[in-house]
Every structure is written in C-alpha cells, then in structure tokens.
Structure 1
Amino acid sequence: MEIRAHFITKIKIAEIISDAMVIGSVEDGLDLLGNIYYQDFDRVILHEKHITPDFFDLKTKIAGEILQKFSNYRVRLAIVGDFNKYKSKSIQDFIFESNSTQHINFVGSLPEALERLSK
C-alpha cells in the first residue's frame, strides 16, 4: 500500500494506492484510519476496488463500523467507484445520505473526490 499525497491550497489529502485489497474487515479499516491519522492526514481517498464487497452489504455492519470511526476522528473520506451496480435500496439510500453530509462521500472519479474533499 502506498499513500499518495494531494495538495490543494493548504489542504493535504491522502489517496490510497494498492495492488491488493486494503479493507477486508473492520480491523483493516481501523488500521488504515490509524495509519492516515498518524501521518497527519484528515482527508482520505479510497478506491472501491480496495474494499471488500461485504462493505456494500449493510447487513454485515462493516461499513457502519468503519465509517463511524472515520466520523469520530473527523477524517473525511471519499470512496471512488461505480456504485450504480449496487441495486439494494438500503445501500443506495446509505450512499445518498452519506453524500449529503459531505463527511463521507461516494463519488465516480478521482477529480470529483479531490473537489469534494478540498472544500
């Protein structure tokens, strides 16, 4: 895993780059949060392909537990991917509600993630 820093004005945003899955469990999410927080980032971009598909099945509670920790530590997150493939009404509602708070963002591209996190 590599952390690529993006600087927009005085804002420092971490983009997670990896050839492998980064979050396969709640513990992985907490480890990532700790790593990012330790390196003095408070905004993170993570690509959907780096997250277990179980994250997008809300019954597993993985998403809720991980995203609650990001909120508690005030670390803003943008997840980049194609979320239209998730047909569940509950995940679509979850994505809509998350995007409305602008603390957790589900976006379609890296430029959109950078724009949302730079505000």
Structure 2
Amino acid sequence: MTDLMQERAGVPVLVCDPDGPPIATERDALDLIGAAFLGATVVAVPAERLDPGFFTLGTRFAGEVMQKFVNYRLRLAIVGDISEHLERSGALRALVAESNRHDQVWFVPDLAALDARLRATT
C-alpha cells in the first residue's frame, strides 16, 4: 500500500502507508504536508513510521512536527498503539491527553477511532 487519499467520515484524509519511509526529520514531515496539499485536511500517520525520538519529548522532534502541521493548518493523527512509549513517559502521557482534548493533533489507536473523532467534529 502507498499513502492514499481517502474520504473518511466525510473528511479528506491522507492515510499514510505503515510500510512507508520513516519520519525522522522535519523534512520528512514537510514531505507529508506537501503530499496532503493534494486535498487532504488530515494526515493519518502510523505510529510505527515515526522515529522513536518523536516519543522522547526531550528531543523536541514531536513539537517540531506538530508545529509544522499547525502552521500549515492541517490536522495530524498519530494512529496506532503507543502504550509502550506512554508507560515510559509522564510528559508524553500529558502531551497526548492535552492534544486529544483539542482539534489539531490526535493520538488514536486505529483508523476506526479516527473516523469516530472526525464524525464528532463535523
């Protein structure tokens, strides 16, 4: 599977392939943002594509990526099981909880949960 544009719950979403290239730099995030400009308003990124440094908040990589999406007015959904990362970091747990209270960046366990969030906001 390649990254695909899909309409999910009436919203255009770029659903990224779990086996696609890793997202390890700001440039990688910008490449996804560029791909989303074909019509997506949400980018769904499988958690396993994110460099492990994303989940270590001291690297600031998560903040940089999230800020890029905010700047370009795109929603970002991190899709997948991140429980292992959450167990190791109270700061990450707080970030995920705070992000999920708002509308710009979400952490969801699967695409069905993303669809439910999208339905709730439209």
Alignment TM-score, normalising by the size of structure 1:
0.88
1:22 lines up with 2:25 in the alignment: no
Distance 2:97 2:2 in 1: 29
**Alignment check: 8 A CA contact 1:67 1:104 kept:** yes
Cross-structure match for 1:75: 74
Cross-structure match for 2:91: 90
Extract structure 1 runs of 4+ deviating beyond 3 A.
none
Cross-structure match for 1:3: 3
SS of alignment partner, residue 24 of structure 2: coil
Q: Give the C-alpha shift of residue 36 in structure 1.
A: 1.3
Please tell me the residue identity of whatever aligns with 1:15.
Answer: V
1:45 lines up with 2:44 in the alignment: yes
Alignment root-mean-square deviation, CA: 1.7
Give the unaligned 5+ runs of structure 2.
none
Distance 1:45 1:20 in 2: 12
Cross-structure match for 1:65: 64
Q: Count the aligned residue pairs.
A: 118
Q: Give the C-alpha shift of residue 55 in structure 1.
A: 0.5
Give the unaligned 5+ runs of structure 1.
none
Alignment TM-score, normalising by the size of structure 2:
0.86
Distance 1:53 1:69 in 2: 18
**Alignment check: 8 A CA contact 1:76 1:104 kept:** yes
